[in-house]
Structure formats: structure tokens, C-alpha cells
Structure 1
């Protein structure tokens, strides 16, 4: 009986023991890149396809693959990336979770995974909820990037105050920069992204006039983001450099991953 009691006690202790996620050291990469893609109701099925195919084509392209695998100037030649679809307040999902891109084969598989994931949502537009969902996933991944970059694309606006609060929280948590890719909507959407979404030192946005322009815009944007550094100057036509003082907040408060 005493032996049985000890066994039960040990089993309970094992179940109650916290899981230590600090055993495995995070993998060093040039950049942790998170792409947040708008699939709200204003994005019709053809526009969704143009967005999805734009990402797929970009990651399959030689120029983006070469940028990822580049080992010059102290680069490691690898990044971690994930793609999130978002819509309303409770609708965000990591369609392709954090993935190590360290070879052409890995990058092509990542592109295939994007291509094969069905559209999950088609509701309202809550950019703030997308940012809040996304930035918290950096602290939980298995990677340690020289920089952490969020890439938000979409064709609409949401509450400015809530979006700015989400942006500031992300930067305070250690995200280096949040870049934007407004699609259509003219000055209204572009100004919303410039004023309420984009933030961090060297952050920028590239506007796509229509969904038909998305593929070229995302390829240019990814090429800049994969460098892992603040956007260089001079910038390509249509790119706005929007570095802000908020960038220093995250650098000061970045938490080390896998801390107890």
C-alpha cells in the first residue's frame, strides 16, 4: 500500500510539474518575419487568390530565395517566417506557422503550404486584433532573429486608437518594426496604415493601387524585409520610410526567449 501511495504521489507531481520550454536553445536566424494577410469580407475570392498567389510566387522566385540564403556581410543565410490570415476580432489563424527557411527546398515547401491552405475567414476588419494576435507569437517560437518584423497587408481600416495601441504594445514587447502594405482604398487606407499601423525604427509601407499590383508590391517588400535591417535609403518608388521614436522602446524591452 505504501509503495502504491508513493507511486500515485509521484505521478501527481509529474503531472503538476511545469513544462520547461527553456531546454532547447532557440535557432539563430537573420530575421523573424511574420506576414499578416487580410481576408475580411471586402476581399473577394479573386482578390484573395491574387494575394495568396503573390506570396507563393514571391517565395518561389529566385530573387527572394537568394535574398534569404545570402550569407554575405555576416548574414546566416536563413530566416524564420510565418503567414497569418486575419479578419474580425476573433478571427486570426496561423495558416503556416513558424518555419525555418534555410534551403531552396524549405522555401519551396513553405510556398506550397501557403498555396494549399484554404481561405479560413470572410468577416469584418480588425487590424488591431491581428497585430495583438501576431506579436505575442514571437515570444513563443523556436527562433532568435537579429530582428523581428511584422508585415501587415490589407484593403481597409479599423479603429485608429485601438490599432495604435496594438502597434505600440507590439513594439514595447520587442518587435523591431511593423511594415504595411495597404491595397487600394487610395489616401484613406494609405494614411491609416502610415499613421496607425506602421511603427519602429526604419519601418516603411509600400502601397498597391489594386490587388492586381499586389504581387509586385509584396516581392519588393519582402526583399527589403528579408534583409533584416531598417529600410535602406533611397527607397524604390512608392515606398514611404516611416521610422519613429517608438522603435527604441522595443529594443530596450525585448525579452530574452526561453527565460524561466
Structure 2
């Protein structure tokens, strides 16, 4: 085959491949939003069926709060993107509600309905590090947020997967903000106290949250979860800083 003929074939092949390449890039193009918010929900064995239901109905109620839609409208772009996944062991993270763009009351209501219709799951261990790693991989896949925030809710310390400090440091190095929602056990087990395990609110404050404007919401038991998550998400879409730790009582 002559060099001239080979060159012509290569040019033709490149021309045919170009539209496919452009289409592939377009499929991965991201849309700008004010905030990419990842909701990471603890479903380890310390969360029973009733508490799991309280968590999910709490998230759904938060997105139906008219103050949330008002807060979104007040952002520079007037839109945020949200996804929700549940987590437990180091290798168990399941996305229950994929990324959705929220720009008003109607889209917020659709997200709430998706949360209500999601499966209810419970597993064993508590891998906050695994949850952070999984959450970090969700950013930039469909949207490009001016801020990237992970909202981690849980009621225990890291006991599965790689060291929490390593996962946390890597996420913070990417500019991700880690906020926490710590649910306090109203009747702590004596074994936890004897083992020297710190109160979950102190643990989340000192070892989980981080990044510009990061904060911790503390729910005094699952009865207080709905109020805590509502206030937390409204604050997360706002830019005004607040106290490092806030508490919600039932």
C-alpha cells in the first residue's frame, strides 16, 4: 500500500470518528449549579427499621420545606444538584436517588418523592471513610458546582475500611466540604463507654467535618432527626456561615 493511499485512509477514519468523539464528550458535559450536594445516609446495624424510616421521611420533609426552594432561588445560578446514597460497611454504598437538578418547589417535591419511594436498607458495620470515598467520586459526573458538599449523617464511629483521617484528608484536598449530622444515642451502651469511644457529636466535630464553612448538626435522638436535617440542608445551600455546632431537640 502506498503512503498516499494510507494517509487518505487515516484521514477518512479520523473524520468518521470525530462526530462520535464529540458526541461522547457532549454526553459527559456538566451543567453548572450553585452547589453539588451529596447526602450520605448511615444504614449500619445501629439504625433499626423505625430509625431508618425516620431518616428517609426526614429528608423528604426537608425538601418540601418552602424555605429550601427560596434558598435555592437566592443563589447566583438559582439551581443546585442533589443525590442520596446509603452506606454501611467499607464496600457497601448504594445510590438510591441519582443526581437531580433542583431549581424550585416542583423539582424539590420530585426529589422528596424519590426519597420516599427509595428502598429501606440496613447492613452491619460503619465505614465513614468508605462513605467519604464514595461521595467524592460522585462530583463532576453530571454537574459542576460552585461548591461541593457532602452531608454525612450517622450515629457511630468509623469501624470498617481504611483510616478515616486518610479519606477525610483526600476529600478536603479536592476542595470538598464535609458536613456532619450526628445522631446521639439516648441510651448509650456501657461497653462503648468502657471502650473509651468518644460521644458521636465530639467524634464528628473533631474527626469528620472539615473544609470552608463546615459545620455539624447534632440531633438528640432520631426523634429530632427531621428537624435537624431540615435546618441542615437549608444552611448547606446558603453561603452565610453560622455556628460550628448546632443542636436539634425533639
TM-score, normalised to structure 1, is: 0.77
Aligned residues: 224
Q: Give the conservation status (yes or no) of the 8 Å contact 1:91–1:121.
A: no
What CA distance in whole angstroms lies between the structure 2 residues aligned with 1:163 and 1:21? 35
Give the corresponding residue for 1:65. 69
Is 1:195–2:196 an aligned residue pair? no
Report the Cα offset of residue 21 of structure 1.
Answer: 3.2
Across the aligned residues of Structure 1 and Structure 2, the Cα RMSD in angstroms comes to: 2.8
What CA distance in whole angstroms lies between the structure 2 residues aligned with 1:151 and 1:134? 9
Q: Give the conservation status (yes or no) of the 8 Å contact 1:39–1:86.
A: yes
- CA offsets per residue over residues 22-76 of structure 1, 9 Å max, x none? 66642121111111000111100000010000000010111112212225xxx22
Give the corresponding residue for 2:168. 167
Give the corresponding residue for 1:209. 220
Report the Cα offset of residue 132 of structure 1.
Answer: 0.5
Report the Cα offset of residue 145 of structure 1.
Answer: 1.4
Change in Cα spacing, 1:170 to 1:237, as seen in structure 2 (3 Å) is closer
Is 1:89–2:98 an aligned residue pair? no
Report the Cα offset of residue 197 of structure 1.
Answer: 0.8
* Alignment equivalent of 1:33, drawn from 31, 37, 42: 37
Q: Give the conservation status (yes or no) of the 8 Å contact 1:127–1:157.
A: yes
5+ residue gaps, structure 2: 1-8, 189-197
What CA distance in whole angstroms lies between the structure 2 residues aligned with 1:165 and 1:18? 37
What CA distance in whole angstroms lies between the structure 2 residues aligned with 1:164 and 1:78? 32
What CA distance in whole angstroms lies between the structure 2 residues aligned with 1:117 and 1:179? 23
TM-score, normalised to structure 2, is: 0.80
2:202 is paired with a residue whose SS is helix
Is 1:112–2:113 an aligned residue pair? yes
* Alignment equivalent of 1:219, drawn from 216, 220, 230: 230
Between 1:19-28 and 1:148-157, the stretch displaced more is: 19-28
- CA offsets per residue over residues 4-35 of structure 1, 9 Å max, x none? xx9xxx6xx96x97984366642121111111
1:100 is paired with a residue whose SS is strand
Give the corresponding residue for 2:5. none
What CA distance in whole angstroms lies between the structure 2 residues aligned with 1:93 and 1:188? 27
Give the corresponding residue for 1:179. 179
What CA distance in whole angstroms lies between the structure 2 residues aligned with 1:154 and 1:81? 19
Q: Give the conservation status (yes or no) of the 8 Å contact 2:220–2:247.
A: no
What CA distance in whole angstroms lies between the structure 2 residues aligned with 1:61 and 1:217? 13
- CA offsets per residue over residues 186-233 of structure 1, 9 Å max, x none? 761112111211011211101111000001111111111011x26235
Change in Cα spacing, 1:18 to 1:158, as seen in structure 2 (3 Å) is farther
5+ residue gaps, structure 1: 1-5, 240-260
Report the Cα offset of residue 174 of structure 1.
Answer: 2.7
Q: Give the conservation status (yes or no) of the 8 Å contact 1:50–1:211.
A: yes
Give the corresponding residue for 1:130. 131
Report the Cα offset of residue 89 of structure 1.
Answer: 1.2
Report the Cα offset of residue 182 of structure 1.
Answer: 0.7
